Structures are given as structure tokens and as C-alpha cells.
Amino acid sequence: MNAPAYFDYAATTPVDPRVAAAMSECLTREGSFGNPSSLHYYGRSARERVEQGRAEVAALTRGRSTDLTFTSGATESNNLAVLGTARAAGKRGRHVITSRIEHKSVLDACRQLEQEGFAVSYLKPERDGLIAAATLEAALRPDTVLVSLMHANNEIGVLQDIPSIAARCHARGVPLHVDAAQSVGKVEVDVGALGADLLSFTAHKLYGPKGIGALYLTPQQRVSLQPLLFGGGQERGLRPGTLPVHQIVGFGAACALMRIELPTEAPRIERLRLRLWRGLSSLEDVILNGHPSERVPGILSVSVAGIEGESLLAGLQEVAISTASACSSGSGEASHVLAALGHDAELTQSTLRFSLGRFSTEPEVDAAIAAVRREVERLRAVAP
């Protein structure tokens, strides 16, 4: 059997060959293999590569490279932002706000804060996945020390109105952390314009390597952040450990490429998603999950009423898709995101997430539509 068409770009993306080439220049004796903290020639050469990478990552998000800290990925960035900000502010207040549709790396960090005596409000989105301004306003308290809300959701692709959320937080003097792992490289992201005080993202969702991410921090947040790791002065003490030069170079190269590609790539992917939705929605009882237009171009989540997602997936060997997110499908847990939208267990079970990206093509989309149609018709024919 041929390798299936890839429809899971929201789980991870392949590394662009140009990115891989830049990374391999930082591994061997001939390349920039040095420790960027060393003061000799090899160290300085590696340090230059790191700072060039940092500048490229900052340029994609129109931020200042001095506000950027490298981490091992968005999971670590989210943990550092949520735990680090709340713990540092624990004497002033012990209340944190997040939502029910966040990534596990935010939700589980919030659970940890509850263990440490913090109160956490988990905002319920509207049925379209958007967090209503009134819901946020009602949750803000005098002792709130952090709001953490994602930009784009990884299961349904809905984009929150971050500038308006930021304005509401700032009016109450509360910092805002944004998990932008699914929006950086998918839509134009300008950290300043978003108004986030902290912003997390990761290389492997934008054709860079796994295991490298970033956290933006305004200078004000930086001074009041408690690190998670101790042991060296790297990243100004916020994230000690020898800097992974090849990973940072790969992240930078992926961001530099994305700056060039995004203006044409995003509308192309959007057209493919609309084509996919047109095809799937011609089937009976297919529901689009999430707001119809406030969304990233590449993610399409659909529920097929009356059909179990697992049986549907089993019949769809020619397309690599997920039922919900990569994380929840691995664990067999029902999606907390779909549950938060008000889906019952049955509808949640019948959900498929298609995600499209740089290497997706029209013939792949058409083949996926035909395959889903075939399987849905087959399963409906045998259903009692």
C-alpha cells in the first residue's frame, strides 16, 4: 500500500529540506558545533548562529529578539509562562483564568497550580468556540494574576479575538499569556498588535524541527517570572542549559522561509480547506465544528452524525487524519474541546480533524472527499 496522504499538519509538519540543510551545518566538526557560551572562536561562531536564528524567529512575529527565550517547545513555553508567572505573583493574588479548550500543556499546568493552592477559572466557550467578552469580564477578580488563552485552537482551528481580550485584561492590570502554537506560521502574527504579555509557539508546527520553541515576554513580565529550571545563566537565567544550536538554526530558517511563503501559502491552504468542506458538506448530517470564518486556514473539524469516528478512520487508510487532536487520540480520551462546545459523547466520537499545510494538494483533497463519502455511505448502509 502507498503511504497515505498527510492530513495532520496540526499535529506536526515535516521539516522543509532547506531547514534541514541549515541545521546540519551546526552539528559536525566542519560546522558551527561549538557551545555558544564558550568565548573562543567555536563558541562565538555558534553564538552568532543562535542570535541570527533568534532574529529570524522574532522577525516572523514582529517582536523584539531581546524579548524572546528559547525553550524545548510550546509545552515548556506554556508551563514556564503559566507556572512562572503565577508562582512569582503568588503573594499578590492566587487566581488564574484560562479556558476549557486549551491545550493540555496549559490545562495541566493550571491543575498543578490548583495543587499549590491557586484557584483557576476555566472559561466555557460559546458553541462556535469563541470566548465571549462577557464571560471573561465576569471571571476577572481583584486577585487574578494571569489570564492564559490560546490564539488558534488545535482541534477546531478557531481564532480568538486576542487584541480585545488583551485590552480587557490590561484594563484590570492583569497580564495575558497566549498559546500561539497553532497561529504563528498560519496567519500573520504581530506580538505587539496582539497585545500579549507572554506568547508561546513552537518550530515543529511551521516546518521546523521538533524540540525547540519560544516564549515571548515583555520586559515587565520577564523580571517577574520564576524559572522552572536552575543551573546556568543561559537565556538570562530564565531557561538555563546549553543552547541547542542546530535546533535554533532550524527554527530560525523555518521562520525566515515562512515570512516569504505565508502571504501565498495561507490563501492557498484556505482555498483547499474550503474545497474540502464543500465536498464533505454535500454528505448528509455533516456538521462543521467551530466558527465558520474566525479560524486558521488549515484546520477543518467535522462531525458526521451517526457514525463512529474510529470505524470511519479504520476505513480511511488512504488519508492520515486524526479523530480530534494527536494528544487525545493517543490516550483514547474523549476530546475536552468538543465537550466544551456542548457536543454529546456520541457526536464527539464521530468527529474527524483534517489539517492541511504546505505540501497539501488539490488531488489529495479530492481523493479524501471521495474516500470519506465511500466510507460514510458504506457505514450508513450497514448501520441498524
Ligand X SMILES: *Cc1c(COP(=O)(O)O)cnc(C)c1O
Nearest CA-CA partner of 185 in 354, 59, 320, 45? 59
Which one-letter amino acid corresponds to residue 2? N
Query: Binding to ligand X by residue 16, rule CB under 6 A?
Result: no
Using the contact rule CB under 6 A, the part of the chain among 25-33, 69-77, 257-265, 359-367 near ligand X is: 69-77
x/- mask, ligand X, residues 203-232, rule CB under 6 A, reads: -xx-------x-------------------
Question: Would you please indicate which residues are annotated as catalytic (active-site) residues?
Answer: 327
Residue placing its CB nearer to ligand X in the complex, 154 or 348: 154
Which one-letter amino acid corresponds to residue 163? P
Residue number, nearest CB to ligand X: 73
DSSP reduced 3-state for 196: coil
Query: Binding to ligand X by residue 73, rule CB under 6 A?
Result: yes
Nearest CA-CA partner of 207 in 282, 261, 166? 261
Buried b (16+ CB within 10 A) or exposed e, 245-256: bbbbbbbbbbbb
Secondary structure tally for the chain: helices H, strands E: 14, 12
Query: Binding to ligand X by residue 335, rule CB under 6 A?
Result: no
Give me 364's grid cell. Answer: 489529495
Query: What is the C-alpha R_g of the chain?
Result: 21
Q: Smallest gap, in angstroms, from Cβ of residue 138 to ligand X? A: 25
Distance CA 155, CA 71 (A): 23
DSSP reduced 3-state for 354: strand
Using the contact rule CB under 6 A, the part of the chain among 70-78, 273-281, 285-293, 367-375 near ligand X is: 70-78
Residue placing its CB nearer to ligand X in the complex, 34 or 244: 244
| Contact with ligand X (CB under 6 A) among 13, 61, 69, 202 | 202
x/- mask, ligand X, residues 146-185, rule CB under 6 A, reads: ----x---x------------------------x-xx---
- Binding residues among 75-94 for ligand X as defined by CB under 6 A: 75, 78
Using the contact rule CB under 6 A, the part of the chain among 73-81, 227-235, 301-309, 346-354 near ligand X is: 73-81
- For residue 370, what are the contacts with CB-CB under 8 A and spacing of at least 6? none
Query: Binding to ligand X by residue 69, rule CB under 6 A?
Result: no
DSSP H or E run through 198:
strand 198-202
Q: Smallest gap, in angstroms, from Cβ of residue 374 to ligand X? A: 30
CB 85 within 8 A of CB 177: yes
Burial class of residue 181 (count of CB atoms within 10 Å of its CB; 0-12, 13-18, 19+): buried
Residue placing its CB nearer to ligand X in the complex, 203 or 371: 203
| Contact with ligand X (CB under 6 A) among 49, 103, 246, 291 | 103
Q: Smallest gap, in angstroms, from Cβ of residue 75 to ligand X? A: 3
Q: In the complex, which residues of this chain contact ligand X (CB under 6 A)?
A: 73-75, 78, 103, 105, 150, 154, 179, 181-182, 202, 204-205, 213
